[in-house]
Structure 1
Amino acid sequence: MLSHHERTELEKIERSLELSDPDLAIALREGRRRKPRALKTALLLALDVAAVLLLVVGLVLPDPGVTLCGILALTGAVWTHVARHRV
């Protein structure tokens, strides 16, 4: 149980949060996650494109090192997407 002083301090923090970032306050109140940021999405998309390009170039060229890098990059991209959606 919170004391009277702690409750008033908590109410002040809640009001301050609602004034400074109303979207975050609504998301916290409703228990939903914020939408992913555009930069993070763009970086993930760039990782996907780079991984696929590495894999295709590695399959076209007779160089197993490039193919291995493509496979590793694609594995990392898939792992990142799975981890991102589990949170």
Structure 2
Amino acid sequence: MLSHHDRTELEKIERSLELTDPGLAAALRDGKRPKSRALRSTLLIAVDVIAVTLLVLGLILPDPGVTLCGILALTGTVWTHVARHKI
């Protein structure tokens, strides 16, 4: 069991966290992990690179299927970027 001093300090930390980052405080209170934007951004950049690579390979190689895959992948990544910034 925590002492009175420890409980008081924890309450101060909780109030401070609620004021500075209410989203994190709510996630901790509900037992959910906060969403990682870094992982999402890294994954989106990797998909961007793959889409551009497919498009360039499709333009170099005489294969219209690779070009079509590159165009579709690039369209999907552009749509994802636009949808992400509207939120």
Structure 2 CA distance for partners of 1:21 and 1:67, relative to 1, 3 Å: farther
2:14 match: 19
Deviation of residue 36 (structure 1)?
6.3
C-alpha distance in structure 1 between counterparts of 2:16 and 2:39, whole Å: 20
1:4 aligns to what?
none
Judged with a 3 Å threshold, the aligned counterparts in structure 2 of structure 1 residues 70 and 37 are, in CA distance, closer, same or farther, namely same
Deviation at 1:37, TM superposition (A): 1.3
The CA deviation at 1:40 is 0.3
Moved over 4 A (4+): none
Distance 1:21 1:66 in 2: 53
Counterpart in the other structure of 1:64: 64
Residues 6-26 of structure 1: per-residue CA shift (max 9 Å, x gap)? xxxxxxxxxx8x729925317
Amino acid at match of 2:21: L
Structure 1 position 70, deviation (Å): 0.1
Show the counterpart of 1:77. 77
Gaps of 5+ in 1: 1-15, 28-34
**RMSD of Structure 2 on Structure 1 (CA):** 3.2
SS in 1 for 2:76: helix
What is the number of residues matched between the two proteins?
A: 66
The two structures have a TM-score, normalised by structure 1, of 0.63
TM-score in terms of structure 2 length:
0.63
SS at match of 2:39: helix
Q: Which amino acid aligns with 2:74?
A: L
